[in-house]
Chains A and B, each alone.
Chain A
Amino acid sequence: MRMKRVAAVAMMASLALSAAACGKEGTPAPSGGGNASGGAQGDTCTTSGATFTPKADATVAGSPTFDKIKSAGTVTVGVKFDQPNLGYKDAQGKRCGFDIEIAQYIASTLGVDPAKIEYKEIASANRETAIKGGEIDYYVGTYSITDKRKNDISFAGPYFVAGQDLLVRKDETAITGKDTLKGKKVCSATGSTPIQKVRDEGLTEPENIVEFKTYSECVSQLLDKKVDAVTTDDAILKGYAAQNPDELKVVGQPFSTEKYGIGLPKDDKALRDYVNDQIEAAAKDGTWQKIYDGTLGRSGSAGSPPALERY
């Protein structure tokens, strides 16, 4: 009975809030004026404009995953949702970004309409489990190809080669690469591999290392001048720079190599070969470039498709 009353109070509060919530429809678009908004696309998702027509006669002989997709008429894809221009979900629930469009392209070559994709947000630590357990059909989201992971799953690709790089304020001139970080505050995700590298190689002093749970928190601190650089894979950094090209830039001197692959079930070689063929085709016919230019490339940095590593 008490719980009921507690719940009633909570209900009243939320009712009061929702009664007040009679806002304008549509998506908020930043009005011009302040420098932070000029040129930025805001929070609304914009796609590269590439269209993916589902292949009507797609077949992958001997692939259990494909048979499952075909009979279901839909595909379940694991993605990220918090990386602008890479794997992002806006306030309206629309998804966009380089990884998202790669995922849509792959779906279309499997004969599935991209509009019918069922997206699942899978945290980095859970990716292998989700693929092994069949929770998702494939995963596209800054997924580095490593031998350790190949024990559990398999990779098609790489479809992108990233490297650890630095995101700085547009007017920054002192930071030009990893050896110019001494005495500068460097931010990255708590305990992540990039920040471990900074620590282990002594790129800056231990007291100048700043760590937050997510990269967007680091970017906020960068704009507030509380840190001087944000470090992680350049793909992620380019996404932030593309969101705010007037205030941010990527240094462009990567100091590591991360090959992003599409995570697939381990024993489905037929599907892996097929997906590799499709990535190759996209690289040849300009689809890859179109997707890149319309997403990550908006930050102004060029990119080109990497060589495949079949196995």
Chain B
Amino acid sequence: MGEFLRVLTDNWTLYREGFTNTVQLFLIAAVGSLVLGTLLGAMRVSPVPALRAFGATYVNIVRNTPLTLVFAFLVFAVPKLDVNIDYFPSACIALTVYTAAFVCEVIRSGVNTVGTGQAEAARALGMSFAQVLTLIVLPQALRAMVPPMMSVFIAMLKNTTIAAGFSVLEAGAIPAYMAERGEPQFAVLLWITIGFLILILPLVALQRFLERKWRVAR
């Protein structure tokens, strides 16, 4: 047990730095994918066929590509196109590009959960597009969107570890350092697990709470 604690205290700076970067990566990519995903989601529910096709193509390509490949493409292939992006921003972009496809799907299916009758009734009352959207569709759609959206972000938080393979010192990179320092890996990995549980369990609890509170009866 003393040995187990020592692994953390001896390498505290590494753990702190690793998890700080993980959280930063997560926050930046969360905002980024929310913006890009909403844009793509808007395209997918728009009345313009070209935009719908573009959104669908994007989602289908990205969803069937491993995130690791998206990372590898940004870090090894993109510099060949004379575009020079540093490693941390590259990781943010990779996570954003990938996660946006899933955010987009959550938004699209969230909007589709609202019955057409709702909007038709609203329009029959003479509401404008903005009113239908903000007063009728969104309040209902949001409730259906939030729990799956949280799942997407929880998954994304776990996915940040992949950046370890691409020169970002985040939590996933800690084991490689520790292997060289000769620390017992089981303890090292247990501490990383504990770190992720601390980050993820509150999110899961919040998700379950919202799910129960906002369950939409249809």
Contact = CB atoms under 8 A, between A and B. Distances in A.
Q: Tell me, yes or no, whether A binds B.
A: yes
Contacts of B177: 190-191
Given A220-B76, A226-B84, A211 B173 contact: yes
9 contacts: A125-B179, A187-B167, A192-B180, A193-B180, A196-B180, A211-B169, A212-B167, A225-B84, A226-B79
Contact of B178 (A191, A193, A220): A191
Contact of B165 (A187, A213, A221, A224): A213
A221 to B, nearest CB: 8
A210 interface: yes
A225 B80 CA distance: 10
Nearest to A125: B179
A193 B180 CA distance: 7
A67 interface: no
A309 interface: no
A89 B147 CA distance: 50
Interface string B183-196: 00000000000000
Contact of A210 (B80, B87, B178, B181): B87
Contact of B179 (A191, A210, A212, A221): A191
A225 B173 CA distance: 24
Contacts of B166: 212
Interface of B: 76, 79-80, 84, 87, 164-167, 169, 173, 176-181
Contact of B180 (A187, A191, A225, A226): A191
A44 B134 CA distance: 64
Contacts, number: 37
The dominant DSSP class at the B interface is helix
Contacts of A196: 180
A217 interface: yes
A213 B80 CA distance: 20
A166 to B, nearest CB: 18
In the A-B complex, the 3 residue pairs with the closest CB atoms: A191-B177, A224-B79, A191-B176
Nearest to B88: A207
A190 B80 contact: no
A192 B182 CA distance: 11
Q: Which of B80, B165, B167, B176 gathers most chain A CB within 10 Å?
A: B167
A210 B166 CA distance: 9
A86 to B, nearest CB: 20
A224 B179 contact: no
Nearest to B177: A191
A190 B181 CA distance: 12
Contact of A217 (B76, B176, B178, B180): B76
Nearest to A213: B165
Contact of B167 (A125, A192, A193, A211): A211
B165 to A, nearest CB: 6
B76 A190 contact: no
Contacts of A191: 173, 176-181
A125 B180 CA distance: 9
Contacts of B80: 224
Interface in A215-270: 217, 220-221, 224-226
A217 B166 CA distance: 9
A217 B87 CA distance: 13
B25 to A, nearest CB: 15
A213 B76 CA distance: 13
B177 to A, nearest CB: 4
A212 to B, nearest CB: 6
Contacts of B76: 217, 220
B82 to A, nearest CB: 9
Contacts of A224: 79-80, 84
Nearest to B174: A191
A297 B176 CA distance: 32
Contacts of B167: 187, 210-212
